[in-house]
Amino acid sequence: MRIRLPANGWSPRDYQMPAWSSWEQGCKRQLLFWHRRAGKDELNLHQHAIAAHTRVGTYWHMLPEYSQARKAIWNAVNPHSGRRRIDEAFPPELIENRNDNEMFLRFKSGSTWQVVGSDNYNSLVGTPPVGLTFSEWALANPTAWAYLSPILAENGGWASFITTPRGNNHAKKMYDAVKGRSDWFCQILGVDATHAISEESIEEQRTTYKALFGAEVADLLIDQEFYCSFAGAMVGSYFGSLVDKAEREGRIGEVGFVERLPVHTAWDLGVGDDTAIWCFQAVEGRIRLVDYYASNGVGAEHYVEWLRQRGYAGFDYLPHDAKVTEWGSGRTRVETLQAMGRKVRKVPAVSFQDGINAVRLTLPLCEFDAKRCEAGIDALRSYRREWDDDNKVFKDRPLHDWTSHPADAFRYLALSWRAEVKPQPAPQPWKPRNGVLLPGIPKPKSSLRIRI
């Protein structure tokens, strides 16, 4: 039996041809900012089908969250044909085994393909991928690529990043960094270039957005999703506009250390999940964010050693529930860190909304080191409310994803940093030349002396 790939008579649309051709010609890195409904995932599914029968290996189609992968890819139906998209891309005659629970296909060629999430990339077992798609890359955990890129560089694999813009976050930074490189194919395609969606359909969507979010946000969303604009913060973001303002005001850049002051830390603690740490100095009513670190699956000694190597020996601010016994020692987290020489202070328990308000008051006072705090800054930009798709409203709680731990750690910082502000020296009494002390009267900035 002969099976032709791409299957079922599929071929790239005219505007998809440059990306498809570059991949066929051996380009191993693609970054595509294409508008909504431009066929990004469809294109990549057919790329995976061909690659799996050209080079035997492991292939992943990665969504930001594992929980959304089933709806978005595994069970997604082509509205024009009524068939599942994976069945259109991967003919059943080529499949040896299908595991619906794990969203996994094994082909008769020996290759495998699986839908996975960037929120659990480092927990996946088996052979590392040789072909990888990051779908909705602007919403994904950027550390997933930091973890996987050396693997693909070593095995000569390819990676495709497909997305619509979500403000000036890690996806836009990647575009700025690689758009001129010959080993990357980068493209921004709005509907004004593809003409794939009618103006009537776009205006109908604008009307829907206006009813949900108001006219200003509706226009931003239309520009973002259909014209691939990077303007504006992510809709639903708690702090995106404040982080963008910090960048516009030059408060994200190179931040040095004030030698005479200690570096304090604010933690969000996890065991299986990430532990996130913001490192800061409080200087005259300003907060200098000098470093950020996050990891997972390691014990307290890992973080203490990281802090020791950097010489960060100030107070460690931990959430009020840090008395929970964890980290496998039988001791509370506070006791564990104190036994390792850390100076622990617990952040008082307040409501979530009070913590959010504290962050909003704190961010305008912050200066961030762009390089050392990059991952944390991206998380603050992308931390957002959970969307209720049934009722078409945002919920009163945040979406729990890769941004949660960095944002929670910053919330603890916002609730504690004022304790570390060093008070200014009290004005010293001025002692006139005749030796008479006038208590409580500060020395004037200038004085007039008259000889009698």
Report the share of the chain in percent with pLDDT over 70.
Answer: 89
Q: Where would I find the beta strands (DSSP E) of 27-107? A: 29-34, 58-63, 95-99, 104-107
Question: Above 60 in pLDDT, residue 219?
Answer: yes
Question: Above 80 in pLDDT, residue 287?
Answer: yes
State the average pLDDT for the chain.
88
Measured in Å, how far apart are the chain's first and last C-alpha atoms?
Answer: 117
Say what the pLDDT of residue 275 is: 93
Domains of the chain as residue ranges with CATH: 14-194 (3.40.50.300), 252-420 (3.30.420.280)
pLDDT in tens, 371-412: 999 999 999 999 999 877 677 678 888 988 899 999 999 999
Concatenated DSSP letters of 235-271: TTBSSHHHHHHHHHTT-EE-----TTSPPEEEEE--S
Question: Above 90 in pLDDT, residue 276?
Answer: yes
- Report, as an integer, the average pLDDT of 251-258: 94
Say what the pLDDT of residue 298 is: 85
pLDDT in tens, 174-208: 999 999 999 999 999 999 999 999 999 999 999 99
pLDDT in tens, 406-451: 999 999 999 999 876 555 444 444 444 344 433 443 443 433 343 4
Q: What's the CA gap between 281 and 261, in Å, rounded?
A: 7
Q: Are the C-beta atoms of 66 and 74 separated by less than 8 Å?
A: no
Our CA angle for 316, 318, 321, nearest 5°, is 155
pLDDT in tens, 28-72: 999 999 999 999 999 999 999 999 999 999 999 999 988 889 999
Question: Above 50 in pLDDT, residue 109?
Answer: yes
Question: Above 90 in pLDDT, residue 267?
Answer: yes
Cα dihedral 107, 109, 115, 117, rounded to 10, equals 140
Q: Where would I find the beta strands (DSSP E) of 122-238? A: 129-135, 158-163, 185-189
pLDDT in tens, 6-36: 999 999 999 999 999 999 999 999 999 999 9
pLDDT in tens, 302-335: 999 999 999 999 999 999 776 555 655 667 888 8
Question: Above 80 in pLDDT, residue 232?
Answer: no
Q: What's the CA gap between 74 and 60, in Å, rounded?
A: 12
pTM of the shown model = 0.78
Say what the pLDDT of residue 299 is: 85
Q: Residue 391 gets which letter from DSSP? A: T
Our CA angle for 173, 408, 143, nearest 5°, is 35
327 vs 264 pLDDT, higher one: 264
